[in-house]
């Protein structure tokens, strides 16, 4: 039964899901029309919001820094993985996969744990591990294997790098317009027993769910051997003074030493192990330099990896434009994202509020696929409403976090780094991820109901 459902989803996605860039264009048009109607603003006003109101507000160029961070996640992660020592580690893990069942189980399990620890790390490691396993298990369905690697991303925001629970820790989150402050420590958010149980259910059950979707032999799509071909290690001649400097062990050592000292000092002064995109990329950068053992080799590894970031560079400005459309306010201070959130808030009770918040966050995430962007949109709406209803700040915030990560399964935005590594298109894996979406949606709804009724 499950195979029939997954096969049907795969056929639908292969037939109807366009290239991620065209998907972004279609979403832009849909949101543009909905925002014009919902907020009663003129098309010119919405185009102005889409472009960024002269470059000074949320709009097409609002995610430039984030786009660079995401491109670096892909490029630095790929460059690190291309080093000999990293290939050995991945090969060691991949060697445990003896057949297609163990291939899917191992890929899903490792990816899910890595994404919970840190989403950027998990995205890259999962895809690279899947490729390594594909070299060993020739009869595994390659799109399903990559979908399994990406499926672990469905619990990233409930993990240690979740931007929403981290925003509530310490001094808390303050709404600029009202001055209200909401505080929830990690024990009330990412480390709350219910959140941990939901993550554990996904970690244990999802690998078997993914394997249950494996198509029969006639419908299995094998990996294109060209995707797995590794170029021979480049040989270097060291004759000129310039070439000697490029391969200088002294310059390499000084650079690595400075980076490692900075990273150690960063965590020492923070007094806690908190990861963000910048420090993750910093770790990837200097680990890559260290692993390659040579400045020139690392420069070439970065050049080889950079081509995979093309999709990110092209599409992220359009998703930033969609965020601009979703958050553009009229004279009554209404925006489309607020209208969607308010609808769910208005039909809620103390127990059902997190469930409706989760569902609304899933809808909003489809158009604002950024954890930080989503929090900026929904935080000022959901948090005051949760206080009025008597819902704890941690539970309300985690409902947004789970909704944000939930619909990532059918939103190509975050799959781009993994797809770039794997050499696939979004439509190749989205059919399988629809089933993952349904499964995790059920887990989250039941989890938040239990959270409200028994905790």
pLDDT tens per residue, the chain (455 residues)? Answer: 666 776 676 677 667 767 768 878 888 898 899 999 999 999 999 999 898 876 556 788 877 877 888 788 778 877 887 788 888 888 899 999 999 999 999 999 999 998 898 777 788 788 889 999 999 998 999 999 999 999 999 999 998 878 788 778 767 777 655 577 888 888 999 999 999 999 999 999 999 999 999 998 888 988 887 777 776 777 788 888 888 898 999 999 999 999 999 999 988 887 666 666 678 788 889 999 999 999 999 999 898 888 777 777 888 788 788 878 888 888 888 888 778 777 777 888 889 999 999 998 998 887 777 777 678 778 878 888 888 888 999 999 999 999 999 999 987 777 877 787 788 888 889 889 999 999 999 999 999 999 999 88
Amino acid 225: pLDDT: 79
User: What confidence score (pLDDT) does residue 186 get?
Assistant: 84
pLDDT at 1: 66
- Terminal C-alpha separation, the chain: 36
Asked, for residue 43, whether it belongs to a domain, the answer is: no
Provide the angle, in degrees to the nearest 10, between the axes of the packed helices 20-39 and 43-51: 130
Measured distance CA(329)–CA(45) in Å, rounded: 10
Q: CB-based contacts of 158: which residues, under 8 Å, 6+ apart?
A: 116, 165, 190, 195, 198, 199, 398, 401, 402, 405
Angle separating helix axes 426-454 and 353-367, nearest 10 degrees: 160
What's the pLDDT at 197? Answer: 97
67 belongs to a structural domain:
no
Q: Which domain holds residue 111?
A: 74-225+239-454
pLDDT at 9: 67
Give the pLDDT confidence score for residue 8 in this predicted structure: 74
- Give the global pTM: 0.78
Task: Report yes or no on 158 lying in a domain.
Answer: yes
What is the structure's pLDDT at 23?
Answer: 75
Measured CA angle at 151 (ends 400, 23), to 5 deg: 75
Is 56 part of any domain?
no
Are 97 and 137 in contact, with CB atoms under 8 Å apart?
A: yes
Q: 49 to each of 26, 42, 296, 315, 367, how far by Cα in Å?
A: 17, 11, 44, 18, 15
Return the pLDDT at 90: 86
Residue for token pair 């480390």: 191
**14 lies in some domain:** no
pLDDT at 299: 93
Cβ(360)–Cβ(378) below 8 Å:
yes
36 in a domain, yes or no? Answer: no
How many Cβ atoms are within 10 Å of 300's Cβ, its own excluded? 16
401-428 burial code (b ≥16 CB/10 A, e <16)? bbbbbbbbbbbbbbbbbbbbbbbbbbbb
Domain count, the chain: 1
CA distance readout (Å), 231 to 93, 172, 227, 427: 22, 49, 11, 28
CB 321 within 8 A of CB 59: yes
Q: Is residue 318 part of a domain?
A: yes
Q: Report the distance separating Cα 121 and Cα 127, nearest Å.
A: 10
Find the Cα–Cα–Cα–Cα dihedral 9, 14, 16, 18, rounded to 10°.
Answer: 130
Q: Is residue 9 part of a domain?
A: no
């Amino acid at each position: 039964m499950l195979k029939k459902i997954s096969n049907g989803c795969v056929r639908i996605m292969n037939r109807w899901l366009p290239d991620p860039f065209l998907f972004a264009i279609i979403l832009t048009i849909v949101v543009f029309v909905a925002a014009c109607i919902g907020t009663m603003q003129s098309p010119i006003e919405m185009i102005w919001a889409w472009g960024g109101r002269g470059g000074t507000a949320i709009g097409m160029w609002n995610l430039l820094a984030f786009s660079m961070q995401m491109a670096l996640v892909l490029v630095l992660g790929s460059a690190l993985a291309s080093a000999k020592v990293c290939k050995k580690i991945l090969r060691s893990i991949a060697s445990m996969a003896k057949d297609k069942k163990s291939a899917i189980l191992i890929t899903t399990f490792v990816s899910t744990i890595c994404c919970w620890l840190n989403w950027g790390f998990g995205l890259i490691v999962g895809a690279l591990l899947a490729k390594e396993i594909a070299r060993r298990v020739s009869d595994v369905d390659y799109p399903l294997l990559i979908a399994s690697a990406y499926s672990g991303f469905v619990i990233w925001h409930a993990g240690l790098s979740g931007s929403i629970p981290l925003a509530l820790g310490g001094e808390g989150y303050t709404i600029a317009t009202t001055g209200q402050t909401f505080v929830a420590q990690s024990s009330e958010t990412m480390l709350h027993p219910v959140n941990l149980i939901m993550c554990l259910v996904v970690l244990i059950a999802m690998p078997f769910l993914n394997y249950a979707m494996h198509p029969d032999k006639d419908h299995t799509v094998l990996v294109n051997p060209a995707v797995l071909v590794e170029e021979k290690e480049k040989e270097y001649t060291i004759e000129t003074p310039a070439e000697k400097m490029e391969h200088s062990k002294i310059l390499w050592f000084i650079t690595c030493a400075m980076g490692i000292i900075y990273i150690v000092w960063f965590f020492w002064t923070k007094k806690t192990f908190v990861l963000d995109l910048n420090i993750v990329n910093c770790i990837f950068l200097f680990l890559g330099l260290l692993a390659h053992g040579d400045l020139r080799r690392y420069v070439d590894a970065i050049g080889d990896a950079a081509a995979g970031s093309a999709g990110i560079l092209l599409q992220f400005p359009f998703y930033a434009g969609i965020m601009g459309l979703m958050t553009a306010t009229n004279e009554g201070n209404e925006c489309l994202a607020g209208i969607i959130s308010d609808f769910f808030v208005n039909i809620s009770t103390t127990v059902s509020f997190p469930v409706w918040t989760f569902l609304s966050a899933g809808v909003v995430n489809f158009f604002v696929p950024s954890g930080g962007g989503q929090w900026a949109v929904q935080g000022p709406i959901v948090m005051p409403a949760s206080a009025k209803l008597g819902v704890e700040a941690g539970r309300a915030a985690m409902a947004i976090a789970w909704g944000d990560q939930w619909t990532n399964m059918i939103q190509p935005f975050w799959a781009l780094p993994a797809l770039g590594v794997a050499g696939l298109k979004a439509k190749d894996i989205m059919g399988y991820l629809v089933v993952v979406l349904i499964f995790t949606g059920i887990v989250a709804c039941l989890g938040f109901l239990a959270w409200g009724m028994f905790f």
